[in-house]
Structure 1
C-alpha cells in the first residue's frame, strides 16, 4: 500500500508542477500591474481545477447558502493538510487574498507569485502581524475577500479536532470592516495528505452560511470565534469515518 501511495504522490506532484510551469508565463506577466492580478488569480483556479481532475479526485462542494461572488467575505477553514491551500484557490469563486506564512516566499517561482498576489505574515514577529492585518483590512475595504486559517497553521495532532483557541486576526478584521465570515469545513484533506505522502480519496467541502458581523464590536470577538468553531467542528466530527 505504501508503494502505491508513493506512486500516486509522484503522479500528483508531476501534474501539479507541470501545470504550474505551463501557466506561469501568463501568471508572471499578469503580476506586473495591479489591475492585471485578477488574471493570475483565475490562472490559479485553472491550475487547481486541472490538477484535481488529473489526480482523479472528485470534488463535492456543498453550499448552505448562496454566496455573492462580487462581495467581500472573510473565509475561515480548518487546516489539517498542505493540500488545503491548493483546494482553497480552486473552490473559492471570489477574488481573494490568502493570509499565509512568509516562509512561502522562499519557494522558487511560486514564492514570487504568492508575495505579489497574497499577504505574508511572520507570526513570530509582532510588527509583521500588524502590517499583514493592515494589508488585509485594506484589501477588504477595496472589496477583496480574505482567506485565512484561524488555527494559525497545521497544529492539530488529533484529526479532525481543531486547535483552540483560534487566532484573533480573521475575526478582528471581519468586525472592523463589518463583513461576513464564511466558515468552511474541509472534511477529507487530512485523509488524503496528512504529511508529504498522498492517498486517493474524494474531497468533500461544506461552505457554511455566512455569519454576519454587522453591529459587532471588539467585545464580540471571543463569542464570534466560538461561533465559527461550533459551526466547523461538529461538521468535521459528523464526517469522520
Structure 2
C-alpha cells in the first residue's frame, strides 16, 4: 500500500512540475529571445521552485543563510549533488545566476531547449566543449551573472550523502576571476528523491544551508587546491552535523 501511495505521489510531483513549467514557458521564451530580459530567467526559476515545493511539501522548506548573498555581487555557488531535486532547491535562492549542466540535458523535450539557451551546458568528455563552456562562463560573469556548479560533476555517489571527488573547474574559475565561492549544503534530498529507478518521490522537508562566501587566497594552482579543500570541508562538516542529529 505504501509503495502504491508513493507511486501516486511521484506521478503527482511530475504533473505539478510540468504544469508550472507550461505556465511559465511564455515568460521563459521572452527571456530567451529578448536579450534585455535574459536576467528574468533566474527569477522565473525561483518562482518555479517556490511553487513546486509548496504543492509538493506543503511549503515544508528551510533555507538557512550564514550570510545572504548580496544583490548585484557575483559569486560561484557550489553544492553537493545527490538528487534531481537539487536544481530546484538551489532555485530557492532569489539571485541572478546561471547553472552549469551536462550537455545531455539538451535532449529533454522542450525543457532541454530552454535550459540550453538560458544556462551553460558542457560535455565533460570533450576538451573543446569544456573550453567553450569556460569561455561562456567568463562571458556570463562579465555580464553580471553568478554561476551555480555541482563540483562532483553529477549525481555520482554510491553512498549519499557522502561525496565523490570534486572537479576543479569551478574553483579555477573563481581563482582566475577572483570572485568568491559560496558553498551550499543540501543534506536531505537523496532521501526525498533517491537517484534510483524508478524515480520515487517521498514526502519530507527540503533543507539547504547557504554558507558564507570563501574568497580565493591568491592565484595559481595552489590557490585552486586550497579553495577546493576549504569548500569541500565546509560542506562535509555540515553534512556530518545533519547526520548526527
TM-score above 0.5: yes
Stretch moving more, 229-238 or 214-223: 214-223
- 2:100 is paired with a residue whose SS is strand
| Number of residue-to-residue matches in the alignment | 239
Alpha-carbon shift at residue 217 of structure 1 (Å): 3.0
Work out which of the residue numbers 26, 42, 62 in structure 1 matches 2:64: 62
TM-score by length of 1: 0.95
Alignment counterpart, residue 238 of structure 2, candidates 208, 227, 235: 235
Distance in 2 (CA, whole Å) between partners of 1:15 and 1:44 is 15
> 1:102 corresponds to which residue?
103
Counterpart in the other structure of 1:81: 83
Structure 1 residue runs without a partner (length 5+) = none
Corresponding position of 1:197: 200
- Structure 1 residue 128: deviation in Å? 0.3
User: 5 Å matches for 1:37-52?
Assistant: 37-52=38-53
Counterpart residue number, 2:184: 184
Quick check: 57-66 or 188-197, which moved more?
57-66
> Per the alignment, do residues 226 and 214 of structure 1 end up closer, same or farther by CA in structure 2, a change over 3 Å counting?
closer
Quote how far apart the aligned CAs of 1:131 are: 0.8
Partners of 2:110 and 2:40 in 1: how far apart?
Answer: 17
Where 1:55 maps in the other structure, the secondary structure is helix
For 1:9, the equivalent position in structure 2 comes to 10
SS for the counterpart of 1:167 is coil
How far, CA to CA, are the matches of 1:209 and 1:162 in structure 2?
20
Tell me, what secondary structure is at the counterpart of 1:31?
helix
Partner Cα distance (1:115, 1:14) in 2: 22
Query: 1:233 & 1:4 partners in 2: Cα distance?
Result: 34
Partner SS for 1:16:
helix
Residue 170 of structure 1 corresponds to which residue in structure 2?
Answer: 170
Mapped partners of 1:232, 1:96: distance in 2: 20
CA shift for structure 1 position 66? 2.8
What is the CA distance between 1:214 and its match in structure 2?
A: 5.6
Q: 8 Å contact 1:179–1:214 — kept in the other structure?
A: no
2:214 is aligned with 1:211 = yes
Q: For residue 162 of structure 2, what is the aligned residue in structure 1?
A: 161
Q: 1:133-180 deviations in whole A, cap 9, x for unaligned?
A: 11112212222100000000010011111001x111100000111000
In structure 2, distance between residues paired with 1:141 and 1:214: 21
The alignment yields a C-alpha RMSD, in angstroms, of 1.3
* Native 8 Å contact 1:69 1:93 kept in 2: no
Q: TM-score scaled by structure 2?
A: 0.93
